[in-house]
Amino acid sequence: MIVPDIIIAIDGFSSTGKSSFAKLMAKELGFLYLDSGALYRGVTLFAQEEGFINKENEISPALEAALEGLDLWFATDNRTFIGERCIEKEIRSMEVSSQVSPIATVPYIRRFVDAKLHELAKGGRVIMDGRDIGTTVFPNAEIKIFMTADPDVRAQRRYDELVMKGENPNLDEVKENLRQRDYIDSHRETSPLSRAKDAFILDNSNMTISEEVAWVKGLIKGKFNIYDD
Ligand code: DC
């Protein structure tokens, strides 16, 4: 399927499968995949390790200046790095998950991440996932999808993901973490999670990833009058 140089924005709640879907879609279309959540997670890990955030989620204002020296980037295989160090495993831990939402409420941190996304997306042909891509970061994205799924299905998915990564999660804690993140993400002042008016809703509680890909390909074909396969 030959697709023009567009930007595809995938937003939605945590653990709705946005990144697995976006990665697969990027592969199928030959697009670049950008995981904006990984950048917020990278900033969170940096803030934790460098002592800019405490257990009460209080963030030191000194973090703003320190971000200037933070070399956060993606390898071509989508792994996230700080300088030479791959931080993929650390940024998916419960420790980072439990402090990433407060970090993502801070306006200067959002500006830091947005600037990086704009820089990386310069060439177009990008699929990006996050919470505010279609509303704030790329409001002119040609295709916008808002993903949602039943909260229990989402908690189970996150739980399975953590088990696969060798962690020993507790399902109730995972549920509670998701509930809190949904709340903070949707109620923060700067760029809260919300559906762009022109975003298509994709509820994937009972869908396989290939069904999702087929559905979105159908949308793209319809929008750009593509008749080939
Ligand atoms: O998609 P994720 O679970 O990896 O995202 C981690 C956190 O980052 C999530 O709790 C909210 C925040 N986030 C955001 O505020 N805006 C984005 N565009 C992406 C993520």
Give me 57's structure tokens: 């989620």
Residue closest by Cα to atom 4 of ligand 1: 37
**What count of Cα atoms within 13 Å lies in the side-chain half-sphere of residue 211?**
8
pLDDT recorded at residue 229: 60
Which residues contact residue 225 at a Cβ distance below 8 angstroms, ignoring those fewer than 6 apart?
none
Residue 186 and residue 192 in contact, taking contact as beta carbons nearer than 8 Å: yes
Q: What is the pLDDT of residues 47-96, one digit of tens each?
A: 999 999 999 999 999 999 999 999 999 999 999 999 999 999 999 988 99
Reference 13, options 142, 157, 210, 206; nearest CA is: 157
Residue nearest to atom 10 of ligand 1 (CA): 101
- DSSP bridge pairs for 129: 10, 35
Q: Which domains does the chain have, with CATH numbers?
A: 7-220 (3.40.50.300)
What is the rounded radius of gyration, in angstroms, for the C-alpha atoms of the chain?
A: 17
Give ligand 1 pocket residues (Cβ under 6 A).
Answer: 14, 36-37, 40-41, 100-101, 104, 130-133, 181, 185
Q: Atom of ligand 1 at shortest distance to CA of 19?
A: 1
Q: Structure tokens of 185?
A: 């993400």
| DSSP state at residue 142 | S
What predicted TM-score, i.e. pTM, was given to this entire model? 0.91
